[in-house]
Amino acid sequence: MKKISLLVTAIALFFIPYLGKAQNVNWKSFSDSHQQLINLNVGWDYAPSVGLGYGYRINSKIPVVMNASFSLPLGHNLPDDFKTKLGAQLKVVSIGNFSATAKVYGLFTRYQSDYTRLLSFGSEFAAVAGFYKKHWYVAGECGFDKAISTQVMNSGKMKEYYPGIQDGWYVPTGGNFFYGIQSGISFKTNDVTLNLGKTITQDFKSTPLIPFYFQVGFNRRF
């Protein structure tokens, strides 16, 4: 029966890396008078989704923006599924109008269906590089997200079907690569951003049912 639990976990993990690429930052428009930003976004990443994010720029030699975000799919029961991120973006290369950014995040995700509830801890790493001007930018992005440890709590309905099924913590090996482009327009203290890309599993042999993601976002810097 342990194999059944692992199978349930694997199936659920196929769905739960959804939601919310990190908020985009136009380094050229993030002036010295701007210390913080808030982000609202809507899009498709495994499911229709909405998100809210916050960023705080740290005064350091290497430009760093600390990020926290919360996102959820537009499903029937909104509180059932959600994803939180906590981490940072670092501008590691800056040559003229060219910039490269590294992103590092810790993830916490909740997924629930009629059969199981999963709480998952994971990580996400990404690199962004492109051309940035004060009023617009365009860049490429690639990254990897992974569910490191997942708690499986099976419902009564699942236990009726499989009496020997076990709850507990599991360490899946699944992960997803994603790659795409991002762009934005900056005006005054605002940014309107766009992310477009594709997701593929870490073995490069399969993709989600709808493997593409997109996100439209709005940043307010202050």
The pLDDT value recorded for residue 14 is 43
Which residues are within 8 A (CB) of 63 and not within 5 positions of it... i.e. 6 or more apart?
Answer: 27, 30, 57, 90, 91, 94
Q: CA 216, CA 214: separation in Å to the nearest integer?
A: 7
Q: Which residues of the chain have pLDDT under 50?
A: 1, 3, 5-19
Give the type of residue at 187.
F
**Residues pairing with 217 in the sheet:** 41, 193
Output the pTM of the full model.
Answer: 0.83
Q: CA 124, CA 22: separation in Å to the nearest integer?
A: 10
Q: Which of 127, 138, 215 is nearest to 177 (CA)?
A: 127
The pLDDT value recorded for residue 142 is 96
pLDDT in tens, 79-89: 678 899 999 99
Pairing label, strands 175-187, 190-201 = antiparallel
CA angle, 173 as apex, 169 and 178 as ends, to 5°?
Answer: 125
Helices then strands, counting H and E runs in the chain, come out as 2, 11
Q: CA 103, CA 73: separation in Å to the nearest integer?
A: 23
Which residues are within 8 A (CB) of 180 and not within 5 positions of it... i.e. 6 or more apart?
Answer: 140, 141, 195, 196, 197, 198, 213
The total of structural domains in the chain comes to 1
Neighbours of 221 (CB within 10 A): 21
Name the strand (E) or helix (H) holding 125: strand 116-132
H helix intervals, the chain? 2-15, 156-161
The pLDDT value recorded for residue 22 is 64
The pLDDT value recorded for residue 107 is 94
Coil, strand or helix at 32: coil
pLDDT in tens, 53-81: 999 999 888 999 999 999 988 766 666 78
Query: What is the extent of the structural domain holding 67?
Result: 2-221
Coil, strand or helix at 57: strand
CATH of the domain at 167: 2.40.160.20
Contact 172, 13 (CB under 8 A): yes
The pLDDT value recorded for residue 173 is 63
The pLDDT value recorded for residue 30 is 86
